[in-house]
């Protein structure tokens, strides 16, 4: 095999239907959505139809959807405005959040002197809800809790509805990065009392450079980017109509095909886990990724029985064989610090061993898994 792509948690292949629809919009609907003439109105109608489609899928109001450049901007919008405009004095989060959250929280602590607390994790990287409740009880300061629904490195899932109800019972705000879950799981945000979420289209076979924030109505959030009155004043800047339409089409197709594609992708995950256990003695599974009930069906994170010296060449050798995977999130692939997620809960012994994230989609096959396993086995035994 020349190319095997197992890095869908970093980004996904675009669906052909999405590419075709975006191409038509680029060619035919080039008017500025803010312009009053027919060209502008044509583009504006596409943006607003996409907003209605997204809102309908999540069972929320169209006015609660704000298109952004992606999940990072959506996270920044919610967190910054919560402190700057809503009077939040304390943020409770975890040490395994995406850096879009962790680095933003660090900056807010530096600039606004807010309190930051990190909820305890168990030995598998799960959020300790009892500790979260104790922290919520411990202070009357206005608090925002930020916990991601599906972890992008180890696949652990929180009970989003249960967590949201716990947070709201103490009158705190709740933000959740749902970048790895929307498009892969049915979420009724009218039923789940979360205040803010973040979404990226390129995680569910849509284009890069576009996403959205769900902002609960009457929240009082103010814009992060100032300029024009686009996005009902929440986000200035001329909308990328082709990207927004691409997001709409990819999200619509994701949910139209959800059950079939989920079943198929889950079968790949099961096969991958079983094959690793059979062919590579000593392999370990990080977090809850081996547990099909407690983790997403889209990825596994494995700790391989290799010396630190040999591990240095692992990703290079896989790349030479045409295999794409990740040693953590794509956002930190150039970092020498290793995975902050794994560092938060793995033992010192396992931290020294190489860990890889394999993430998959509807485009992968069992034959590709066989090739990856064979390549790993040959490298380990060489």
How many of the other CB atoms lie within 10 Å of CB of 64? 22
H or E element in which residue 359 lies: strand 355-359
For 73, 108, 125, 143, 258, the CA distances from 187, given in Å and listed in that order, are: 21, 29, 23, 24, 12
Between CA 30 and CA 147 the distance in angstroms is 38
**Facing residues of 358 across strands?**
300
For the chain, report the end-to-end CA distance as a whole number of angstroms: 20
How many of the other CB atoms lie within 10 Å of CB of 181? 24
Between CA 147 and CA 170 the distance in angstroms is 16
User: Which residues form the catalytic set?
Assistant: 331
Between CA 45 and CA 43 the distance in angstroms is 5
Contact at 8 Å (CB) between 160 and 187?
A: yes
- Collect contacts of 29-35 with beta carbons under 8 A, ≥24 apart: 29/241, 29/242, 32/238, 33/230, 33/238, 33/239, 33/241, 34/228, 34/229, 34/230, 34/238
H or E element in which residue 143 lies: strand 143-146
């Amino acid at each position: 095999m020349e190319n095997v792509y197992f890095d869908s948690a970093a980004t996904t292949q675009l669906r052909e239907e999405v590419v075709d629809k975006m191409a038509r919009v680029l060619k035919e609907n080039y008017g500025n959505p803010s312009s009053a003439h027919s060209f502008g109105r044509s583009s504006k109608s596409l943006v607003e139809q996409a907003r209605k489609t997204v809102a309908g899928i999540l069972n929320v109001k169209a006015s609660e959807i704000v298109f952004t450049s992606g999940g990072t901007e959506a996270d920044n919008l919610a967190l910054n405005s919560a402190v700057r405009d809503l009077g939040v004095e304390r943020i409770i989060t975890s040490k395994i959040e995406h850096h879009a959250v962790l680095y933003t929280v660090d900056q807010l602590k530096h600039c606004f002197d807010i309190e930051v607390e990190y909820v305890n994790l168990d030995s598998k990287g799960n959020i300790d809800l009892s500790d979260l409740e104790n922290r919520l009880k411990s202070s009357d300061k206005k608090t925002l809790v930020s916990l991601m629904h599906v972890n992008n490195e180890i696949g652990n899932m929180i009970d989003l509805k249960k967590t949201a109800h716990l947070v709201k019972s103490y009158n705190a705000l709740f933000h959740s990065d749902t970048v790895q879950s929307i498009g892969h799981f049915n979420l009724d945000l009218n039923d789940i009392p979360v205040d803010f979420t973040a979404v990226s289209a390129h995680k569910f076979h849509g284009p890069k450079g576009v996403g959205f924030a769900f902002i609960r109505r009457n929240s009082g959030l103010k814009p992060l980017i100032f300029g024009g009155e686009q996005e009902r004043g929440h986000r200035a800047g001329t909308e990328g109509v082709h990207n927004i339409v691409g997001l709409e089409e990819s999200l619509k197709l994701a949910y139209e095909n959800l059950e079939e594609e989920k079943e198929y992708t889950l079968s790949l995950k099961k096969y991958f886990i079983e094959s690793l256990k059979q062919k590579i003695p000593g392999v370990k599974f990080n977090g809850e990724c081996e547990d099909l009930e407690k983790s997403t069906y889209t990825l596994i994170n494995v700790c391989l029985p290799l010396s630190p010296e040999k591990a240095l060449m692992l990703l290079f050798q896989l790349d030479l064989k045409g295999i794409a995977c990740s040693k953590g999130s794509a956002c930190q692939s150039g970092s020498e610090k290793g995975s902050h997620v794994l560092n938060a809960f793995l033992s010192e012994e396992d931290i020294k061993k190489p860990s890889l994230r394999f993430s998959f989609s509807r485009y992968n096959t069992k034959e590709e898994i066989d090739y990856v396993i064979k390549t790993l086995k040959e490298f380990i035994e060489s």
